Amino acid sequence: MNLLNLANIKKSFYGVEVLHSVDFSLKAGTVHALMGENGAGKSTLMKIIAGVHKPDGGTISIDGKQVEINSPSEARSLGIAMIHQELTPVNEMTVAENVFLGREPVRMGLIDYKQLYKQTSELLEKLNISIDPKVKMKNLRVADQQMIEIAKAISQNARIVIMDEPTSSITDREVEILFKLIADLKSKGTAIIYISHKIDEILRISDEISILRDGSNVGTWKAGEIDIDTIIRNMVGRDLTAQFPKVKVPIGEKILEVKNLTLKGQYEDISFDLHKGEILGFVGLVGSGRTELMNSIFGLTHPESGQILLEGKEVKFKGPKDAIKSKLAYVTEDRKQEGLVLPMSVHHNVTLSFLKNFIRHGIIQSRKEASIVKEQVKALNIKVANVSQTINSLSGGNQQKVVLAKWMITAPKIIIFDEPTRGIDVGAKVEIYRIMCEYVAQGNAIILVSSEMPEAMGMSDRIIVLSNHKYSGELKREEFSEEAIAQLQFKHMVKSLKN
Ligand SMILES: Nc1ncnc2c1ncn2[C@@H]1O[C@H](COP(=O)(O)OP(=O)(O)OP(=O)(O)O)[C@@H](O)[C@H]1O
Ligand SMILES: [Mg+2]
């Protein structure tokens, strides 16, 4: 018998049906992957199981018995735990308080902190996660916050664990820890629903694969009986002609030059230049200093020495405002932390930071504002029912496009993209790549920081590799290969390991 059965599940938002009579079944002791493009309805379906949303129709059964799940706590008591795609840590609280939120050990009516920290230590140790339970959530890296979220779900001893994009921001080493945890859970009979856009991960760990497309379940396969092409074809409902629609653009004059830029411990002695029409890739292992370097170029931090020249003139940005004035834009790695205000509308997110562009004589020109937002929504093909929809109701791909729209309004000449397609499905990725190509074709330039090798190689004209905070080499498009890049990535690592 199936552990979980969904039959005819329907769900609408604002009168638009996003799940159409979805059937889905899950067996104990298996990993069932759920795939689909951004906006296909994966998270919505999972939130129905986790008691976050109520379905408009259909039935849910556990062990063959029909159940109603009216709230997350009811889901928990039915043995369902969910790791949400959008992390929601309580930043001011400690790791331990977050893990046991709402079910803290109590002694004489008060939270027993000693016990709380002890239990959390034991849990993290068992899971092989080395994070201090007493540290505040806000002081953790996103990757660590994600590991804590995973620990929290596992600590509930659930029979069904839903993982919605659990690996979107963790490193390879942490992915291995997670996969071991998943294997343990499986062997204890726990069922896992696993959502990811990373096809290689899916093929590695899942027993069954279901694909959602436009709110319908288009099929369920045994993992061994489906290949990558079939998965993609079923996800997008069409053949993908090219995954990387790179357009050859004439390379123009130098627009940015960085000379011997150094900020000890973050990046050291970095020199490179960027030309109009160019997409310059930056590759390196996590911690190689790429994001730190970009932060300085954008004025978020200040280099100790070295120079940054824009169109031949040296610039010294006091802060990001100066960088924006000089027509730089920075699409950061973490949409949620830096890019977007999730509970606000699409419209406001697009215009928020740049409202002053719309203010004339102290009055916001709302008509102009509205038309610019509309223009961007159309140009970037952002899928929204209406611009007053809140950001957190959009799929990851569409959220990323809203971030882009926000920057496009400033008419930048250089955009720095840091992991622009993280957590975004193949279809939306291709659209973002297409937008990049159009942008450089207009004589602008892009710096593309990416950890996805196919993406860096598919889209860049040149790739600069950083290793251990240092420049380790540069490759032209015709020299690109995974081995060449990997060698450069480790160049300064071996020495530092020996020291
Ligand atoms: N709270 C909400 N309010 C309005 N619309 C919503 C809400 N949540 C989801 N939607 C809409 O429902 C559809 C399905 O979204 P969902 O988040 O389930 O997609 P997904 O498959 O999880 O996508 P992704 O891969 O980007 O996470 C989308 O069109 C989305 O905009
Ligand atoms: Mg989702």
Phi, psi of 470 (to 5 degrees): -120, 160
Dihedral, CA atoms, 296, 300, 305, 306, nearest 10 degrees? 40
**What type of residue is 79?**
G
Give the pair of three-digit tokens for residue 26: 């899950």
pTM, whole model, 2 decimals? 0.63
Q: Are residues 308 and 403 part of one domain?
A: yes
Angle (deg, nearest 10), helices 142-155 and 113-126 = 100
pLDDT digits 0-9 by tens, 356-415? 555 556 565 667 777 778 888 888 888 777 777 887 777 778 888 888 888 888 889 999
Q: Are residues 404 and 326 part of one domain?
A: yes
The pLDDT profile of the chain, 499 residues, written as one tens digit per residue, is: 899 999 999 999 877 889 999 999 999 999 999 998 877 899 999 999 999 999 999 999 999 999 999 999 999 999 999 998 877 788 899 999 999 988 899 898 898 999 999 999 999 998 888 999 999 998 988 888 888 988 998 898 899 999 998 887 788 888 898 999 899 899 999 999 999 988 888 999 999 999 999 899 999 999 999 988 788 788 877 554 567 888 889 999 999 999 999 999 999 999 999 999 999 999 987 778 999 999 999 999 999 999 999 999 999 999 988 999 999 999 987 766 556 666 677 777 777 666 555 555 656 566 777 777 888 888 888 877 777 788 777 777 888 888 888 888 888 999 999 999 887 777 788 889 999 999 999 999 999 999 888 889 999 999 999 998 999 999 999 999 888 888 888 777 655 544 4
Q: How many CA atoms lie within 13 A of 401 on its CB side?
A: 29
At which residue do the structure tokens 């973002």 appear?
432
If you take atom 24 of ligand 1, which residue's CA is the nearest one?
Answer: 38
Q: What is the largest CA-CA distance in the chain?
A: 73
Q: Are residues 370 and 228 part of one domain?
A: no
Q: What gap in Å lies between CA 307 and CA 262, rounded to an integer?
A: 9
Q: Are residues 367 and 280 part of one domain?
A: yes
- How far is residue 382 CA from its own chain's centroid? 17
Contact between 45 and 85 under an 8 Å Cβ cutoff? The reply is no
Please report, for the domain that includes residue 429, its CATH number. Answer: 3.40.50.300
18 Cβ inside 6 Å of ligand 1 = yes
Q: Is residue 224 part of a domain?
A: yes
Q: Is residue 247 part of a domain?
A: no
Q: Are residues 323 and 185 part of one domain?
A: no
Q: Is residue 242 part of a domain?
A: no
Give the pair of three-digit tokens for residue 487: 């060698």
331 Cβ inside 6 Å of ligand 1 = no
281 Cβ inside 6 Å of ligand 1 = no
Pocket test of ligand 1: the residue of 44, 82, 403 to mutate, having most ligand atoms within 8 Å of its CB, is: 44
Q: Are residues 156 and 128 part of one domain?
A: no
CA of 41 to the centre of ligand 1 (A): 6
Q: Is residue 249 part of a domain?
A: no
Give me the count of residues in the chain.
499
| Type and span of the H or E element at 24 | strand 16-26
Contact between 215 and 22 under an 8 Å Cβ cutoff? The reply is yes
Q: Is residue 43 part of a domain?
A: yes
If you take atom 3 of ligand 1, which residue's CA is the nearest one?
Answer: 393
Q: Show the domain range for 156.
A: 4-89+141-236
Instruction: Tell me how many domains the chain contains.
Output: 3
pLDDT digits 0-9 by tens, 250-278? 999 999 999 999 999 999 999 999 999 99
